[in-house]
Amino acid sequence: MSIDTPVAHHPGRPLRLPAGAVLSPTPRASRPVGAATAPAVIARWRQACSTAAGTDPDGICGSPDRCDAARACLAEPDIPRRVASVSRAVQRMRRHLADPHCLTDHAQAGMLSPFHFHRVFRMVTAATPGRFLAALRIAEAQRLLIRSSMRVTDIAASVGYASLSSFTNQFTRLVGFNPRAFRSLVDAAGDTPVGVVGRRLVQPVRPGRPALTVTVSGAAGSVLFTGLFNGGIPQGSPAAGAVTVDADVVSVPVPGPGSYELLSVGFDPQSPIAEVLADPQGRRRRVAALPDPVRIAAGGPAGAYHLRLRRPQLTDPPIVVALPLLGVLATRSPRHR
């Protein structure tokens, strides 16, 4: 008896089951942000099943009961149904950004129990419902700051924040600027094409410096922002990053030891900064990220990775970190910052 579905348990080591059944390792593959595609959802489910199986560090299944548990777990996910459930919940979030939300509301929209919904939502999007909702709200706030003359207080209320200070803190944490600074920078530089900023930020590769080599499929003709972020949904400035123009190989400097999310975002060089930032649904960008964190050890090898850009999907968390504006600020002289 065998299990055809591979399990990502321990790099390079299979999980051996009785009677010749083998759960083979899963190769690292790129995913869009939020991992809405079925392979990425399955990959995270496999990891959860591997943990639930209670395997030892060598990847050996210790008892028939544990092997049965792994088989049952792997047989559980019906990926299209789960993605559809999460999609319904996300659509409800988008329609009711200003309303109070609780897990029960989201679960009812997804037609699942609250406990099961929370697990499924995280499997599909790589974020909790609360963090996903926060990103949706801040993305809409960005659009309103750019496209309307509404006061910041009114914008905060329109996206569901009763407290201006809570909104300001959340916006600053996710975007990298407070709302007023964000609006001011967009007013000053919003008509600048992303490609102009990108070309100013391109840095030559420094020989001998540890770096990640990232090959990005679909990057031709794009301005590419590639970075290592702390956390599942990118927020604020990256721990390390690089900007490339019309190049599919990126060298990302290695930051200090830790666990990071590797993200790449591609823009049309002709798109004005204001247009790509006032875009809650991501129609003007393409995105990709790894399914698992990049773990960097002190003095360890940097490694090579592959990403594939694609259009965001409904179940992808919005990318609200203002990458082009961070670039504008980086290229200004100190007296103009």
User: Do residues 237 and 288 share a domain?
Assistant: yes
CA distances from 26 to 60, 80, 252, 302, 324 (A): 16, 21, 25, 21, 35
State both tokens at 42: 């399955």
User: Do residues 124 and 242 share a domain?
Assistant: no
Structural domain that includes position 219: 191-336
User: Do residues 129 and 213 share a domain?
Assistant: no
User: Do residues 197 and 297 share a domain?
Assistant: yes
Contact (CB, 8 A) for 96 and 106: no
93 assigned to some structural domain = yes
10 assigned to some structural domain = no
User: Do residues 68 and 164 share a domain?
Assistant: no
Contact (CB, 8 A) for 138 and 171: yes
4 assigned to some structural domain = no
2 assigned to some structural domain = no
Question: Tell me: the pLDDT tens digits for 90-103?
Answer: 999 999 999 888 88
State both tokens at 163: 């407290």
Higher pLDDT, 287 or 331: 287
User: Do residues 91 and 168 share a domain?
Assistant: yes
User: Do residues 181 and 200 share a domain?
Assistant: no
User: Do residues 287 and 160 share a domain?
Assistant: no
User: Do residues 240 and 260 share a domain?
Assistant: yes
C-alpha torsion 51→54→56→61, nearest 10: -110
3 assigned to some structural domain = no
Whichever domain contains 91, its CATH number is: 1.10.10.60
Q: Enumerate residues 6+ apart whose C-beta is below 8 A from 75.
A: none
Domain end point (choices 188, 221, 252): 188
Residue 307, classed as helix, strand or coil, is: strand
Number of domains composing the chain: 3
Domain end point (choices 25, 45, 77): 77
Question: Tell me: the pLDDT tens digits for 261-302?
Answer: 888 999 999 999 999 999 888 888 999 888 778 888 876 666
For position 169, what pLDDT does the model report? Answer: 96
Contact (CB, 8 A) for 15 and 70: yes
pLDDT beyond 70 at 36: no
5 assigned to some structural domain = no
CA distances from 51 to 55, 66, 177, 290 (A): 7, 10, 39, 20
User: Do residues 184 and 216 share a domain?
Assistant: no
Domain end point (choices 26, 53, 77): 77
User: Do residues 178 and 72 share a domain?
Assistant: no
User: Do residues 236 and 331 share a domain?
Assistant: yes
Confidence of residue 7 (pLDDT cuts 50, 70, 90): very low
Determine which of 18-27, 44-53, 63-72, 223-232 has the lowest per-residue pLDDT on average: 18-27
pLDDT beyond 90 at 171: yes
Whichever domain contains 206, its CATH number is: 2.60.40.1120
72 assigned to some structural domain = yes
Segment of 77-91, 119-133, 170-184, 288-302 carrying the highest mean pLDDT: 170-184
Query: What angle do the packed helices 38-52 and 64-75 form, to 10 degrees?
Result: 160
